[in-house]
Chain A
Amino acid sequence: MSVPLPYYLALSAVLFTIGVVGVLVRRNVIVVFMAIELMLNSVNLTLVAFSSFLGDVTGQALVFFVMAVAAAEAAVGLAIVIAVYRNKPTVHLDDINILKW
Chain B
Amino acid sequence: MNLPITWNDVLALGPIAVVFGGTLLLVVLESIVRKASPLMFWVTVGVLAVAAGCALATIGVAGTAFGGTVLTGGYASYFALVFSAGALLVTLLSPAYLLKRATAFTEYYILLLAAVTGMMVMAASNDLVVFFLGLETMSVAFYVLAGFTRQSVTSNESAMKYFLLGAFATGFLLYGMALVYGTLGSTSIAMLRSSAAAHAGEPLFLVGLGLLLVGFVFKVAAVPFHMWVPDVYEGAPTMVSGLMSTGGKSAAFAAFLLVFGADVLQSAAPIREVMAVLAALSMIVGNILAISQTSVKRMLAYSSVAHAGYILTGVIAANADGANGVMFYLLAYTLMNVGAFGVLSILETASVENVRIDDLAGLSRTRPWLAGLMALFMFSLTGIPPFAGFFGKYYVFTGAIGAGYTWLAIVGVIMSVVSAYYYLRLVVVMYFQEGSPDQVGTATGIGLASLVLPAIALLALGLLPSTIVNLTMQCF
Contact = CB atoms under 8 A, between A and B. Distances in A.
A16 B168 CA distance: 11
B168 A36 contact: yes
Nearest to B292: A101
Interface string A56-87: 11110110011001001100110111011011
B359 interface: no
Say which size band chain A's interface belongs to: 35 or more
A16 B116 CA distance: 31
A58 B156 contact: no
A4 to B, nearest CB: 14
A99 B185 contact: no
B175 A43 contact: yes
Interface in B165-193: 167-168, 170-171, 174-175, 177-179, 181-182, 185-187
Contacts of A57: 1
A35 to B, nearest CB: 9
Contacts of B179: 46
B164 A29 contact: yes
Contacts of A81: 160
Interface stretch (B37-45, B228-236, B242-250, B338-346): B228-236
A85 B383 CA distance: 43
A19 B143 CA distance: 21
B419 interface: no
A100 B178 CA distance: 35
Nearest to A51: B181
Nearest to A54: B185
Nearest to A39: B171
B150 A83 contact: yes
B171 A80 contact: no
A47 B181 contact: yes
Interface stretch (B84-92, B132-140, B258-266, B449-457): B132-140
A56 B175 contact: no
A84 B178 contact: no
Contacts of B289: 101
B293 interface: yes
B163 A77 contact: yes
Contact of A39 (B156, B175, B181): B175
Interface size class of B (residues with CB under 8 A): 35 or more
Given A43-B175, A54-B182, A83 B159 contact: yes
A90 to B, nearest CB: 11
The secondary structure that dominates the B interface is helix
A73 B175 CA distance: 17
Nearest to B234: A99
B9 interface: no
B294 to A, nearest CB: 10
A32 B164 contact: yes
A55 B59 CA distance: 38
B231 A87 contact: no
A99 B168 contact: no
A40 B174 contact: yes
A77 B133 CA distance: 18
A98 interface: yes
A101 B186 contact: no
A80 B159 contact: yes
A48 to B, nearest CB: 10
A47 to B, nearest CB: 5
A61 B174 contact: no
A84 B156 contact: yes
Which interface residue of A42, A65, A69 has the most chain B CB atoms within 10 A?
A69
Contacts of A79: 144
A80 B147 contact: yes
A58 B185 CA distance: 9
A50 B157 contact: no
Nearest to B231: A99
B158 interface: yes
Contacts of A16: 171, 175
16 contacts: A46-B175, A46-B179, A47-B181, A58-B129, A62-B128, A69-B170, A72-B140, A73-B143, A76-B140, A80-B144, A88-B153, A97-B157, A98-B154, A98-B157, A101-B292, A101-B293
Interface of A: 9, 16, 19-20, 23, 29, 32-33, 36, 39-40, 42-43, 46-47, 50, 54, 56-59, 61-62, 65-66, 69, 72-73, 76-77, 79-81, 83-84, 86-88, 96-101
**7 nearest A-B pairs in the assembled complex, by CB-CB distance:** A39-B171, A50-B182, A99-B231, A46-B178, A84-B156, A43-B174, A69-B136
